[in-house]
Amino acid sequence: MSTATLDKPGSGSQQDASPYITVVFRIRRFNPEVSDEATWQDFQVEIDPKERVLDGLHKIKWDLDGSLTFRRSCAHGICGSDAMRINGKNRLACKTLIKDINPHKPITVEPIKGLTVLKDLVVDMDPFFQAYRDVMPFLITKGNEPTRERLQSAEDRERFDDTTKCILCAACTSSCPVFWNDGQYFGPAAIVNAHRFIFDSRDEAGEQRLEILNDKDGVWRCRTTFNCTDACPRGIEVTKAIQEVKRALITRRF
Ligand code: SF4
Ligand code: FES
């Protein structure tokens, strides 16, 4: 394990009032062009604990080691691209404040589990997005186009409100022990996105989606461990959505 250091900003009398503290980021590094083995590397960073883990990663990348590789885009919890395991739990780096995760111990940062690591914190998301595509995550209707909007009551809209919030970060799917053991499982995120359309009164392909999820790699693989619900940064009741899809499969009412 190696260590790199970044100095504290400011100097002189201003330092006394400085909110900056020294935080150790312990990051799982992997570069297939250098080694087949992943290793841990420590970086010491002076940072305000009110900043986010993503800010710490930026300081490391911009000031200490430009080869550190991770995904991020919006930096505000919308794009879903920076899910990673922080102190052993799936979180969005841009939504995790350093002060909330005990900055006095090394903060471990690893790639999410169950997907092939390409480099450092970047995993191959193709299997995740393939499962998403497989459930047909778009409105499907039959017949002629209507001459006015497809109306929906507030009660009907409410039925799938929770699952509209998904940002496809994969925190749920990559925290699921069934997915770790068998990457063939559709996984919670695909089921959440199927739920969003199965329970939409305007959609007409619910039966098709249910049949897709009735597969041996579909909803019945879920063991109700609630890891997915705990991991979701959007607060979606993922396990509840999966249970509702299971119930719809049994009753054929949705
Ligand atoms: S359900 Fe939550 S954890 Fe899963 S992909 Fe969507 S936003 Fe991420
Ligand atoms: S960078 Fe977009 S969700 Fe974190």
Annotate 1-23 with three-state secondary structure. CEEEECCCCCCHHHHHHCCCEEE
Parent domain of 85: 2-123
Q: What is the pTM of this model?
A: 0.91
- Could you read off the pLDDT of 119-140 as tens digits, one per residue? 999 999 999 999 999 999 999 9
CA 74 – ligand 1 centroid, Å: 16
Q: For residue 166, what is the domain's CATH number?
A: 1.10.1060.10
Q: Are residues 136 and 117 in the same domain?
A: no
**What is the rounded CA–CA span in Å between residue 154 and residue 31?**
51
- Of all ligands present, the nearest one to the C-alpha of 234 is 1
Residue 11, pLDDT above cutoff 50:
no
Q: Are residues 132 and 188 in the same domain?
A: yes
Q: For residue 114, what is the domain's CATH number?
A: 3.10.20.30
Residue type, 121: L
**What is the rounded CA–CA span in Å between residue 84 and residue 184?**
21
Residue 5, pLDDT above cutoff 80:
no
Structure-token match 């929906």, residue found: 152
Instruction: Provide CB contacts within 8 A for 104, sequence distance 6+.
Output: none
- Could you read off the pLDDT of 187-201 as tens digits, one per residue? 999 999 999 999 999
Report the share of the chain in percent with pLDDT over 70.
94
Q: Are residues 27 and 94 in the same domain?
A: yes
**Domain C-terminal end among 123, 148, 166:** 123
The torsion angles phi and psi of 179, rounded to 5 degrees, stand at -65, -40
Ligand 2, residue 71: give the atom nearest the CA: 1
Ligand 1, residue 192: give the atom nearest the CA: 1
